[in-house]
Structure 1
Amino acid sequence: MRLRNIIILTVIVPLFLILVVFSLVAIKSLEDNVRSKLQTEVQIITHAIGTSLGYAMERDTPVALQESLHSAFSFHRIYGAYVFDTEGEEIYGLGLGRALFDAEDIRAVVDAGELSGHYRQHDGWTYYSALLPLTTPDGEIRGVLQVNRLNTGIENYTGFISLLAVLVFVIGAGGIVFSIWWGFRRHIEQPLNRLLAVMARVEEGDRSQRAVIGGPQEYRRLAGALNGMLDAMAEKDADIEARRLKEIELEKRLRKSRKLAELGVLAAGVAHEIGAPLTVINGQAQRLARHEAIGDDERARLDRIRGEVDRIVEIVRQLMELGRRHNVEKERLPLDALIESARELVEEDLERRAIRLEVDLPEPTPQLLVNGQQLIQVLTNLLRNATQADEVHRVCLRARVEGDELRLWLEDDGPGILDTDKSKVFDPFFTTKPVGQGSGLGLSMVHRIINDHGGTIGVFDSELGGAGFEIGLPLDDTMHSDITERGSVT
């Protein structure tokens, strides 16, 4: 059942019935009060006249009888007065209402011996008549006095007043019902419908809907509570979506980490196999360079061969390091000292290209449980990559502690990394540098070191306009062990 119908049945209908009963009782009380007042006045007048008439009838003086009856007309609305003997015959009378009673009615009053009142109609008029036995001082009943009062005042309009009161009541009740209906529709039903419409759209999937704060205080509070609930749901949904995306990203990084590990093992095997032939080539080139029979041009070519062999040897060393799983020996070191050591290693590159390095660290400086040499290598490789990019003038390095983890961001204002290359930057041998200027193993090594520390590393577009790298490192071994149990992620 609708709330409007419930209010009508439980509030308006009982109120209407109460008002009806109250109005009827009030009208009935008014009528009774008017009639009672009329009867009382007539009875008092009748008693007053009856006393003098009793003495007049005892002395049998018609003049006194007539004077007493004439005195009755000095009272308000007395329109008739008659004196009858005990047999019902009229002795003397004045005014209206002579034929209201017959002889039998008069004799009945004599037999009763007490005052009686009656409403009678005659010739379209309504009278109230009082019949009083006339007694002498010694108690003998000598006749009956009839006093008539005509209903010409408010008592004639009690029916009309009743009808008018009922009509006013119906109009007033209708106005009350309409006011309640209009107030209910405007201040209860419409705000409820607005809230229901919002909830219906939310149910259909539109979580951006919000209720309008307005109307009575209760509805403002209800709308505010609904909006708060929807905001909380939106926050939960956003958190769930963020967790889902993070899990997807972690899964991608886990697969990438496994892929890199497999590639590292393969590369280490290949590097081990070609290490010995490279040593032979380098030795033979060195021996040839010592012969005096060869010219300068041949000696320069041999030096170039030896240089390329040395480069291959370095690549082989990096490949073997990449494929080897290390037991990282850690110690607790301040972050600012590690960053300062890395800055000193690339200071010459920074000064040569006039690149400004900005460092933003939390206070106090956090202590990291890391292998200092390896973490310096990570920072050095990332800084050197930034200094080697085109059109870089500013490099920002900032860190923040988030729970049990240190988050470190390194960004530059260079051209950045293409979206198609972001998924490959940590792959071995991937490089955007010209041939002969990069092995493509630097970032792979960075990935391996961060992974060995139980951390994460990712690439993003910096607000400075260039490339950005985000590193997450656990502050203690507990977090590291938890990550190791789940699998290495980057």
Structure 2
Amino acid sequence: MFLPFNNLRTAVLVFVLLPLLGVLVALGMLALREFEQQMELRMQEDIELVARSIRLPISAAMIRRDAMDVQQALDSAFQLEQVFGVYVYDSHGDLVATSGPRSPSLDRRREARLITATGSQGAFDERQGREVFSFFLPLTDAGGRIVGLLQITRDVTRFHAYIAQMRLQGGVAIVLLSLIFLLVVLIGHHRAVGRHVSRLVGAMQSAGTGARGLRVPEQGPQELRLLATAMNEMLQRREESERALATQRSQRAELEEKLRQSEKLAAIGQLAAGVAHELGTPLGVIAGRAQRARRGVPEDSRAATEMASLLAELGRVEHIVRQLLNFARRNPLNRREISLPALVADVVSRVRMGVQRPEIDIQVVPADDSGALVIRADPARLEQALGNLLENAIHAARKRVTIAWRRILQDAREMLELTVADDGPGIADEHIERLFEPFFTTKPTGAGTGLGLAVAHVAIEDHGGDLRLDRAGSPGARFVVTLPLSEHKADE
């Protein structure tokens, strides 16, 4: 799995952590180097201090040429832990006395004379597989004349092993610190940035799949909170735009459906007008001849019964033709002032005579402030619309039909709201959308034409009102008629 080099975490590691670790390693190496130099200098200073502490007695013994005192001084120095070997040379470079292993450093006189002439100095050498450090100090008399050379050596094998151990420990410490830094950076990045960025990415992916109502928690550093706020505002604007677009599409679909319905109704109206006009005269002739034929036969004969049945069917056909004409014609309204209670009473009386269901109780319930309400409308068209609604309600009711009206305010306009409700089984959901379509009926064949609600709907619309089905608040069906009380508003 390849490490992605274009994300924030990698950028932090590459451009922050690696330079920091580089600086840390460099400082660690410099510190180790400085520590080694200081330790080496300290070791040389210790040897030099030992050499200078025994210099005077050895110089005095060399002046006296007392080899015994020289050897005793060397043996006392050899007892020190830091000393590996002590050697004394005369002014000619010949070894005079020694304490410890024989030193291979000065096997030639020329080297001893050279060191004696140049003064004190130190040098590293190897002896018996061990690395040693030798310090050389000239021996002088009271007048400053060189009488010999003192060499003190120290085994630096353990010193170098200690230095190597310190290097190893320093390297391990640097590696551990690097790992700790890496872990701290990764955890810190995840806690401070990574988890919030992951949440933002997850939210955008969910929004890309079409999720709705999604909001990003506004948490984390200020920059990420600002980004989350901007994302939430963007998501909200997107949802509002989608809702507005859906509303526009729904409205457009409704308008298109209304346009198609209007075109359909117009075509049906033209067809109905033509059919009704063509059927009117032949039906009138047939009805007239049937009535004359009936008067020529005895009342109790079978022919009289058949003629009565024929006249009833002709009356039904005449009723259908009249409804077709009422649906097709859209003549200008003949408005005049009408007492709404009187109009309703006439409609109830006419419908009771036409619909043979005396067991149905028709209740008229006017509002308290609108009992004597007067409206301007076309009496014939409005009476026809209310009559059709009332007939349908009586046919569907079980025991009771209620007619009620009241004044309401709708869009700052004073309106009349009239309801016709029954306690029947109601209207099935699949039939609601087709209630006002011409020739749509749920009654058995021969029991209805499907034009009653369509004619009522057209009449109410011509008055500038609205007819709708409202089933809320009561069982059965409840139709609501809304009419403007201002004639000017209705004409608009």
Class of the TM-score when normalised by the shorter of the 2 chains: 0.5 to 0.7
Correspondence 1:281-296 to 2 at 5 A: none
Counterpart secondary structure, 2:104 = helix
Preserved contact between residue 401 and residue 423 of structure 2 (Cα < 8 Å): yes
Q: Which residue of 1 aligns with 2:372?
A: none
Counterpart secondary structure, 2:143 = coil
| Rounded Cα–Cα distance in structure 2 between residues aligned with 1:342 and 1:78 | 136
- Are 1:385 and 2:392 an aligned pair? yes
Correspondence 1:256-405 to 2 at 5 A: 256-268=261-273, 312=318, 316=322, 319-320=325-326, 323-324=329-330, 326=332, 353=360, 382=389, 385-390=392-397
What is the percentage of aligned positions where both structures have the same residue?
Answer: 30
Q: Which residue of 2 aligns with 1:442?
A: 452
Correspondence 1:224-235 to 2 at 5 A: none
Of 111, 120, 123, 1:118 maps to 123
Preserved contact between residue 54 and residue 137 of structure 1 (Cα < 8 Å): no
Correspondence 1:179-194 to 2 at 5 A: none
Q: 1:64 to 1:437 in 2, by over 3 A?
A: same
Q: Which runs of 5+ in 2 are unaligned?
A: 367-374
Normalising to structure 1: TM-score of the pair? Answer: 0.63
Correspondence 1:53-92 to 2 at 5 A: 53-58=58-63, 61-62=66-67, 64-73=69-78, 75-92=80-97
- Are 1:93 and 2:98 an aligned pair? yes
Q: Which residue of 1 aligns with 2:111?
A: 105
Counterpart secondary structure, 2:435 = coil
Q: Choose 125-134 or 444-453, whichever is displaced more.
A: 444-453
| Rounded Cα–Cα distance in structure 2 between residues aligned with 1:472 and 1:240 | 30
Preserved contact between residue 86 and residue 141 of structure 1 (Cα < 8 Å): yes
| Rounded Cα–Cα distance in structure 1 between residues aligned with 2:68 and 2:382 | 145
Q: 1:456 to 1:40 in 2, by over 3 A?
A: farther
Q: Let me know the Cα RMSD of the aligned residues.
A: 6.4
| Rounded Cα–Cα distance in structure 2 between residues aligned with 1:57 and 1:111 | 17
Q: 1:237 to 1:296 in 2, by over 3 A?
A: same
Q: Which residue of 2 aligns with 1:207?
A: 210
- Are 1:425 and 2:428 an aligned pair? no
Q: Choose 167-176 or 73-82, whichever is displaced more.
A: 167-176
Q: 1:26 to 1:107 in 2, by over 3 A?
A: same
Instruction: Give CA-to-partner distance per residue, 1:96-122, whole Å, 9 cap, x none.
Output: 353223433322222223x21111111
- Are 1:141 and 2:146 an aligned pair? yes
| Rounded Cα–Cα distance in structure 2 between residues aligned with 1:250 and 1:160 | 91
Preserved contact between residue 470 and residue 479 of structure 2 (Cα < 8 Å): yes
Q: Which residue of 2 aligns with 1:487?
A: none
**TM-aligned CA deviation for residue 76 of structure 1:** 3.6
| Rounded Cα–Cα distance in structure 2 between residues aligned with 1:51 and 1:106 | 20
**TM-aligned CA deviation for residue 123 of structure 1:** 0.8
**TM-aligned CA deviation for residue 448 of structure 1:** 1.8
Normalising to structure 2: TM-score of the pair? Answer: 0.63
Preserved contact between residue 207 and residue 214 of structure 2 (Cα < 8 Å): no
Instruction: Give CA-to-partner distance per residue, 1:249-290, whole Å, 9 cap, x none.
Output: 43122111122234335545666787789999999999999x
The one-letter code sitting in structure 2 at the alignment partner of 1:147 is I
**TM-aligned CA deviation for residue 69 of structure 1:** 3.2
Counterpart secondary structure, 2:136 = strand
Q: Choose 410-419 or 144-153, whichever is displaced more.
A: 410-419
Number of aligned residue pairs: give it.
457
**TM-aligned CA deviation for residue 153 of structure 1:** 3.9
**TM-aligned CA deviation for residue 70 of structure 1:** 3.9
The one-letter code sitting in structure 2 at the alignment partner of 1:426 is F
Q: 1:327 to 1:267 in 2, by over 3 A?
A: same
Instruction: Give CA-to-partner distance per residue, 1:405-461, whole Å, 9 cap, x none.
Output: 99x999877544467755653234544446786564332133324544677767699
- Are 1:131 and 2:136 an aligned pair? yes
- Are 1:46 and 2:56 an aligned pair? no
| Rounded Cα–Cα distance in structure 1 between residues aligned with 2:477 and 2:25 | 85
The one-letter code sitting in structure 2 at the alignment partner of 1:21 is A
**TM-aligned CA deviation for residue 324 of structure 1:** 1.2
Preserved contact between residue 286 and residue 306 of structure 1 (Cα < 8 Å): no
Q: Which residue of 2 aligns with 1:366?
A: none
The one-letter code sitting in structure 2 at the alignment partner of 1:98 is S
Preserved contact between residue 125 and residue 150 of structure 1 (Cα < 8 Å): yes
Preserved contact between residue 393 and residue 413 of structure 1 (Cα < 8 Å): yes
The one-letter code sitting in structure 2 at the alignment partner of 1:106 is A
The one-letter code sitting in structure 1 at the alignment partner of 2:115 is V
- Are 1:255 and 2:265 an aligned pair? no
Counterpart secondary structure, 1:99 = coil
Q: 1:471 to 1:150 in 2, by over 3 A?
A: farther
Preserved contact between residue 123 and residue 135 of structure 2 (Cα < 8 Å): yes
Q: 1:447 to 1:59 in 2, by over 3 A?
A: farther
Q: 1:283 to 1:257 in 2, by over 3 A?
A: same
Q: 1:404 to 1:109 in 2, by over 3 A?
A: farther
- Are 1:166 and 2:176 an aligned pair? no
Q: Which runs of 5+ in 1 are unaligned?
A: 332-337, 360-368, 485-490
**TM-aligned CA deviation for residue 468 of structure 1:** 7.4
- Are 1:30 and 2:35 an aligned pair? yes
Preserved contact between residue 334 and residue 378 of structure 2 (Cα < 8 Å): no
| Rounded Cα–Cα distance in structure 1 between residues aligned with 2:35 and 2:434 | 102
The one-letter code sitting in structure 2 at the alignment partner of 1:143 is G
**TM-aligned CA deviation for residue 127 of structure 1:** 1.5
The one-letter code sitting in structure 1 at the alignment partner of 2:82 is R
